[in-house]
Amino acid sequence: MNLILCIETSTEVCSVALAQNGKTIGLLHIEQGNEHASKLNGLVQELLLKAGYGLNQLDAVAVCKGPGSYTGLRVGVSAAKGFCYALDIPLIAIDSLTSLAAYFVQHNNLDQNALLIPMIDARRMEVYTAVFNQKLNMLAPIEAKVIGQDSFTELLNRQELVFFGNGAEKCKANITHKNAVFVDGIHCSASGLCLLANEAFINNSFENVAYFEPYYLKDFVGTQARKLV
């Protein structure tokens, strides 16, 4: 049996889950945007306490590596690396879009031919996205995509596409094809990591804790504060 702490901080939702042999046995989350750094360790402590386990019983830590919020990813990866260093256990990293697709599949039944299009908000009309089938095979690579009225047209002309995630809402006005289905209320969750982390653990698919960095996909662009008059 393996016990894996899963950490998801790539969007406005900060969540932690405890996975035992791929099954989610505990899950906590907050949706307070900028409080990931101050709340994450407390969530981990509360999660373990409620599940009746201690940090020293963990076999690995899994984290969403990105893409997503620059600050959120840094918080999650830094915490995951800290736990792995302190406990001398492996680090597992899963990309945010595969995790989001996995979470969606766990909670929804679809036409078998439908493809999955998870979307994470990347500001303005841009999203981080990829294309998956329902076996979570990635059919088109992760990209930062600007959404317009012709987005995904070639695929939509052939089959149903299901859009979800915190970047999907703003795309509804542009993607109006009859084969476009939007599912609301689906957010990144650490529970989406659980089964994927178990598979990685079994396959010894671990990261180098010393050198691992988040997968930002795009360079960080800060905003300049307004000059006070």
In the prediction, which pLDDT does 128 show? Answer: 98
Domain co-membership, 7 together with 81? yes
Nearest 5°: CA angle at 22, between 58 and 207?
60
Domain co-membership, 91 together with 194? yes
For 124-142, what is the mean pLDDT? Answer: 96
pLDDT band at residue 222 under the 50/70/90 scheme: very low
The answer to the question of residue 15 being in a domain is yes
The answer to the question of residue 210 being in a domain is no
The answer to the question of residue 139 being in a domain is yes
For 59-74, what is the mean pLDDT? Answer: 96
**pLDDT over 60 (residue 198):** yes
In the prediction, which pLDDT does 219 show? Answer: 64
In the prediction, which pLDDT does 111 show? Answer: 79
The answer to the question of residue 208 being in a domain is no
Domain co-membership, 154 together with 195? no
**What would the two tokens of residue 207 be?**
């990261």
Count Cβ atoms below 10 Å from residue 229 Cβ, excluding itself.
3
Output the CA torsion sign for 128, 130, 134, 135. Answer: negative
The answer to the question of residue 209 being in a domain is no
In the prediction, which pLDDT does 226 show? Answer: 43
Domain co-membership, 194 together with 84? yes
pTM over 0.85: yes
Give the residue numbers spanning the domain of 75.
3-95+188-202
> Distances from the Cα of 217 to the Cαs of 34, 57, 69, 100, in angstroms?
21, 34, 11, 17
Q: If you average pLDDT over every residue of the chain, what do you get? A: 93
Domain co-membership, 63 together with 111? no
Give the residue with greater pLDDT, 218 vs 31: 31
CATH number at residue 144: 3.30.420.40
For 147-190, how does the pLDDT look when each residue is reduced to its tens digit (9 = 90+)?
999 999 999 999 999 999 999 999 999 999 999 999 999 999 99
pLDDT band at residue 67 under the 50/70/90 scheme: very high
For 2-20, what is the mean pLDDT? Answer: 97
Domain co-membership, 133 together with 160? yes
Decide if 3 contacts 59 (C-beta within 8 A).
yes
Q: Where are the beta strands (DSSP E) in the chain?
A: 3-8, 14-20, 23-30, 60-66, 91-95, 115-121, 126-132, 138-146, 161-164, 180-182
Of 49, 29, 54, 40, the closest CA to residue 82 belongs to 40
